[in-house]
Structure 1
Amino acid sequence: MSFRYKITICICVFTSFCSFAQKDTVQTQASKTNEKIIIVEEYKPLAPAKAAFYSAVLPGLGQIYNKKYWKAPVVWAAMSTSIYLYIDNNKEFDRYRTAFKLREAGLKDEFTNDDGSVLISRNGLINAQKTLRQNRDLSLLTTAVFYVLQIIEASVNAHLLQFNTNDNLTFQPMIQQHPMNFDAPKFGLSFKYSF
């Protein structure tokens, strides 16, 4: 093993002991009950899994579990819009597909007038079917993507709610003069950790 490799391992080991950023507890609440103080920990280690499960069962339920109520209508609107577009494109695809099959069989379809003139040509029916099939498939893919994204969002949000975000974790810029050197201002960057 080279000397650099050994030094790198030592630095990584020593810095890992003192590199804390956050605690795993959310809050502690104290409540008096018959002259006794009870401390309640609100840390929920299975909250992300539970939120993901609820979102998988019913889209938007994981967001409600996380108490982010405004996100549930957004999820429902996105999912219902993509489902509506899938149903509408599928219905129109079936309509043009049926007309194409009837025309190929030599029968009258809905785009043929009583006098035998056609409103949409054969190539128009073929192009309409291709476009509507692509739109239908894209709507189905969009629905699946929205479904997976809302599960991931509920799980990540539940995970991030577990962390302590107090004022000790903020970035506060400040200007400080050097106590010995007063001639020219010098600029620098320093980090201060307080626990």
Structure 2
Amino acid sequence: MKQRLLFLLLFTLLSLQALAQVQGQMQQVRPPGAPGNQQQNTTDTNYVYNRKPPYTFKRYFNSLAGKDSMNITRMWAGSIIVPGTAQLYNKEYWKIPVIYGTIGAFTYAGYRNNTLWHETGDKKFKTTRDLCYLGAALSYWGSILDGVSNYKFYKDVLPARASLYSAMLPGLGQYYNGDYWKIPIIYGGFITVGYFISSNNSQFQRYKYMYYETSNPDSPLFGKYNAQTMKYYKDTYRRYRDYSILTGIAVYALNIIDANVFAHLQDFDISDDLSASFLPGVIMPVNPQLTYNIGPTVGLNLKLTF
């Protein structure tokens, strides 16, 4: 009984003290036009609510100059438009000429081999051209991936980085999160989807050709097969192929979502500490400036630890 009385007395004292502090603050801060507000030059324009300023091109270029910060998504988007900007933000300046030199060399070599292929008709120049263009594309892709991987952040695992990793190379975000066992599942899904896309597309092309031949009076197959049956199978396999493509897109999207979600869960506490506690407290209005006539309420704070 004595413990309950002491608890109630302590609760009352703390509540009164908190209420007095809140009322003192409410008297100092009043909304525009409230009675008793003696502050000079108080207008509605003096009350500016806290909100993030819009991100402008000026802030972006200031970030590249090292005068401001930039989140990883903006840095990634900027490096897609202009390769090397991520390295500029990360202050790895020596990589910029390497990136442009590599991309430029592969592109020029591809252009030269393309010219030689058209002049000579030799297919080896066509193959070399394709390999050079592939090298330029991989150099471009590598510059973006390098910028994302070298982005400095205070957390060991950054969800945005995990998402970008999986977007650029499926499974890389899972590797970044330490979920190595998911990588074969992801690529198994892509291989399965790729098989069905290839198989259904082959059947679609086959029945498309058969439909054309059975509909052409000059074809030797005209009249041997039903053209409407060929059309039915053609449309069916085309639909199956499209469904397989959509499934592949879904697998790709789930790969990104999985990397992002489990990167967020890296900071989630899964310990066995489950507890609850009640503490005296004062419930404040959400915005005292907009709810001037509504005072604080004395109550209990419930704290859950899990």
CA contact (8 A) 1:44 1:162 kept: no
Match for residue 245 of structure 2? 140
Which of 170, 173, 177 is the equivalent residue of 1:62? 173
Structure 1 position 131, deviation (Å): 0.7
Deviations 1:75-128 (A, max 9, x none): 11112211221121111101110111122223547xx5xxx873x422210110
Percent identity of the aligned residues?
A: 37
TM-score in terms of structure 1 length: 0.58
Match of 2:228 in 1: 123
Q: 202, 211, 228: which is aligned to 1:91?
A: 202
**Greater relative contact order structure (CA < 8 Å, 6+ sep):** 1
Aligned partners of 1:149 and 1:43: how far apart in 2? Answer: 27
Q: How does 1:64-79 map to 2 (within 5 A)?
A: 64-79=175-190
- So what's the TM-score if we normalise by structure 2? 0.38
Query: Which of 211, 218, 222 is matched with 1:100 structurally?
Result: 211
Q: CA deviation at 1:192?
A: 8.3
Cα separation, 2, equivalents of 1:169 and 1:59: 37
d(CA) in 2 for partners of 1:95 and 1:102? 11
Deviation at 1:170, TM superposition (A): 7.7
Corresponding residue to 2:271 among 154, 166, 186 = 166
**1:115-170: CA deviation from partner (whole Å, max 9, x where unpaired):** x873x422210110111011011001111111111100110001101222222148
Q: Which residue of 2 aligns with 1:50?
A: 161
Task: Give the length in aligned residue pairs.
Answer: 129
- Work out whether residues 207 and 234 of structure 2, in 8 Å CA contact, stay in contact via their aligned partners in 1: yes
Q: Which amino acid aligns with 1:152?
A: I
Q: Does 1:155 align with 2:266?
A: no
Which residue is equivalent to 2:50? none
Q: Please state how far the C-alpha of 1:63 moved relative to its aligned partner.
A: 0.9
Instruction: Give ranges in structure 2 of 5+ residues lacking alignment.
Output: 1-152, 277-301
> Unaligned stretches of 5+ in structure 1?
1-41, 172-190
C-alpha separation between the residues in 1 aligned to 2:274 and 2:262? 19
CA contact (8 A) 2:197 2:245 kept: yes
Name the CA distance, whole Å, in 1 between partners of 2:255 and 2:190.
10
Can you list the C-alpha shifts for 1:10-56, whole angstroms capped at 9, x where unaligned? xxxxxxxxxxxxxxxxxxxxxxxxxxxxxxxx962761111111110
Map of 1:184-195 to 2, 5 A cutoff?
A: 193=304
> Which of 81, 84, 90 is the matching residue for 2:192?
81
Summarize the Cα distance change of 1:194–1:163 in structure 2 as closer, same or farther, 3 Å threshold: closer
Higher helix share: 2
Secondary structure at 1:75 match in 2: helix
